[in-house]
Amino acid sequence: MSDWADGVGSVPFRSGSLAALERTSRERGLGFHREELERIRSYFRAEGRDPTDVELAGLAQSWSEHCSYKSSRPFLKKAFGALRPRLRVLGTGDAGVMRFEPGYAYALRIESHNHPSAVEPYGGAATGIGGILRDVLAVGAKPIALADPLFFGPLDRGPESMPKGVKTPRYLAEGVIAGIRDYGNRVGVPTVSGGVYFDPAYLVNPLVNVGCVGFLPRPRLRPNRARAAGDRLVLVGGLTGRDGIGGVAFASRELTSESESESRGAVQLGNPIMKEPLIHACLESFDANLVEGLKDLGGGGVATAAGELAYAGGLGLRVDLAKVPRREEGLKPWEVWISESQERMVLDVRPANVPRVEEIFRRHDVPVTDIGEVIAGPYEILEWNGRPAAHLRLGFRVDPPPIHRRTRPRPRRRRAAPSVPADDLVGLFESLVLDPASVSREPVIRVYDHEVQGRTVVKPLQGRVTSPSHGDAAVIQPRPESARALAITTATQPWACREDPRTGAALVVEEAARNLYAVGARPDAFTNCLNFGNPEDPRVMGDFVAVTEGLGRAARALGFAVPSGNVSFYNGGLGAEIPPTPVLMATGLLTNLAEAVTSDLKHPGDLLYLVGRSRRELGGSLWARRMGRAGLAVPRADPAAVRTAGERLLAARRRNLLCAAHDISDGGLAVTLAEMAFGGGLGFTVDLDRTGLGDPALALVAEGGSRWVVEVPAGREARFERLLHGVPIAALGTVTAGEGDLRWSRRTLGTVPLAPLYDRWHRGLTVP
């Protein structure tokens, strides 16, 4: 075919050498590897023509690492393929969909927006929120909660110490938090969970992971596939511009000192004021049964969304790109095809229903345009003002074969835990509590509206209004008519994964489960964002394989379903490499909202119990990081034991034997006790020898073993101990109205002044 539309160029490909094709790929920012160029050349030799620039642009998006998961697909299927039980998982498209109660379901998804946030932190983070909202909307769910795990370099690093082209951690953190705040608050979805982490490993490449939970009546569930030939493809939402062109290609290579100038155009521009009516119009159309299927326009724009929608239904498509509404003049056909401009969805609508869909969207003042049709496969046919722009086998474009990367485990040492100096026990306690990893995240949490929509019952900050502290998970009530509730938490442990990726990944799953059990919820599902370095490095792929295996095994043992997830490779550059950073957003179910538990201490005289077996391993711990001690053995994972103990804690709560619970994680027993005391405005007396760890300093810093500290009402300890029979527990001490007394064999070794410590902890974080 040679009579291409005006503005459509033909790219010499059939007769070029591989070296010439590699040069073309670099110059056009296509990101193809040599074997991919060979496949494309063979395809067009068989076609007897050269590709158009529209066809090459579409191929580049679909074959990017970000869209195709070409390096990770085989490992993801092996690790998580069996963790989608049909009785619980209702859908696995743009978001996973889980049963909630008869007639209702919830959706969950987490993704990354790392590279855009490194270049333009405000816009990168804001459009990350916009994208994750659309993922949940694309299965028919109304977004009801957000989560935002964030990773930056140390805040004290100034411009003089930064590599060329890299922004300071403070600039990045303030911009990212502001972007999440402004987008989430304006669109009216609460941010209820997340985390802010600091480590030199994220100096060059920050991580901005964003998760969303949605809720829907079962009849509203929509597939991410086209229904039948003859259906119309209707584009709704924002207008198309040049922002976000090549975004997925940008996310599929490492950052460089020139990324700031070269790739700023790959960052999309968000518009939360458009997003809210878009959500309402979509939900109204779903409830009227006017939409057969849909996709969100994220990475790769119309090319990815329309192509995947049709291909998933075993069909093809015909689109006139000139019909795509544009907000600026002069866009070329290939730019329209792959632009990642925000706030857009593509709907599969029966022809007879198009007028009603158009009426709904226009009433909400949302642009709506019929841009083409679903056709019998196997081709996609693109036009520009009615003349040809592309003619490709759709499967060739949207379903590239996986790349079988080499894997090689890194050599790692496993040294036993060293002795922990104990000259100043109170000083050690305070140093852990006041570490940047531990100080109050209230300054960040407060800029997010975590109560909009009125569903947030257990909030991210728990305890007294005058001294709120950290909780383990938020609890939301999706339906006011039902006492059934949903707990939401996030979990990560890159430091343990750096030491031992397989065990560290299992510990991340255990932490997610502990967080959910701590608020009275039974673990139900998690969605994962797997952040890694360059997959072309066999050591990175070795870490990736180990992490997926660890996550999968622990999920099976703990009863988690895994209906969705995301992989983000190429996080690094300029000689830097992030550690393996799996991030989970996990959900749990409460049959009765009244059984929810918070972390703050409640009553002087109540008993404090340690639940779970304490271990001496310190690998990846906060203490080890503070002391610069790498190569230590990480705590052993035992997800089956976590499940047994967690179920007993749920039973204890049903019998009113628990007043408070908090899991022991980063910072060990010291941080856990401090946070519980801060929230309640109370004190404690604890006997550190009851941990069984042999010395008091180790008892404070150890994070080994999956453990909780729980508060048991005075006089009910015997019933609690009988219920927990067979689970390792220890009577640790009592809740007091005073300070924090640290004892060993009933002898006081030090007293922590909690009120002044709270003041310093509360003011410890200086962003935003």
Catalytic residue ranges: 66, 113
Distance between CA atoms of 199 and 624, rounded to whole angstroms? Answer: 13
* H or E segment to which residue 274 belongs: helix 272-287
Contact 392, 380 (CB under 8 A): yes
Tell me the residue length of the chain.
768
Distance between CA atoms of 462 and 264, rounded to whole angstroms? Answer: 40
Mapping DSSP onto H, E and C, the string for 93-115 reads CCCEEEEEECCEEEEEEEEECHH
Contact 624, 706 (CB under 8 A): no
Closest-CA residue to 367 (of 376, 358, 354, 379): 358
Distance between CA atoms of 596 and 650, rounded to whole angstroms? Answer: 10
Distance between CA atoms of 729 and 720, rounded to whole angstroms? Answer: 10
Name every residue whose Cβ is closer than 8 Å to that of residue 15 and which is 6 or more positions away in sequence.
Answer: none
- The distance of Cα 391 from the centroid of its chain, to the nearest Å, equals 36
Contact 105, 90 (CB under 8 A): yes
Burial class (CB in 10 A: 0-12, 13-18, 19+), 695: middle
Distance between CA atoms of 468 and 464, rounded to whole angstroms? Answer: 5
Closest-CA residue to 31 (of 2, 71, 4): 71
* DSSP reduced 3-state for 375: strand
Alpha helix locations (H) across 709-753?
A: 717-723
* DSSP reduced 3-state for 390: strand
Instruction: Show the tokens assigned to 564.
Output: 């969705």
Burial class (CB in 10 A: 0-12, 13-18, 19+), 604: middle
DSSP-derived letter for residue 1 is -
Helix axes 639-654, 538-558, angle to 10 degrees: 40
Distance between CA atoms of 475 and 648, rounded to whole angstroms? Answer: 20
Instruction: Show the tokens assigned to 408.
Output: 């090689």
Handedness of CA 530, 531, 536, 540 (dihedral sign): negative
Closest-CA residue to 397 (of 498, 523, 308, 286): 308
Contact 609, 709 (CB under 8 A): yes
User: Cα separations (Å) of 522 from 128, 644, 647, 668?
Assistant: 29, 11, 8, 24
* Backbone angles phi and psi of 43, in degrees to 5: -60, -45
Distance between CA atoms of 704 and 688, rounded to whole angstroms? Answer: 15
The type of residue at 163 is: P
CA dihedral 720, 722, 724, 726 (to 10 degrees): 160
Distance between CA atoms of 475 and 192, rounded to whole angstroms? Answer: 9
Closest-CA residue to 669 (of 740, 725, 606): 740
* DSSP reduced 3-state for 310: helix
Contact 396, 63 (CB under 8 A): no
Instruction: Calculate Rg over the CA atoms of the chain.
Output: 27
* Backbone angles phi and psi of 323, in degrees to 5: -80, -15
β-strand partners of 370: 234
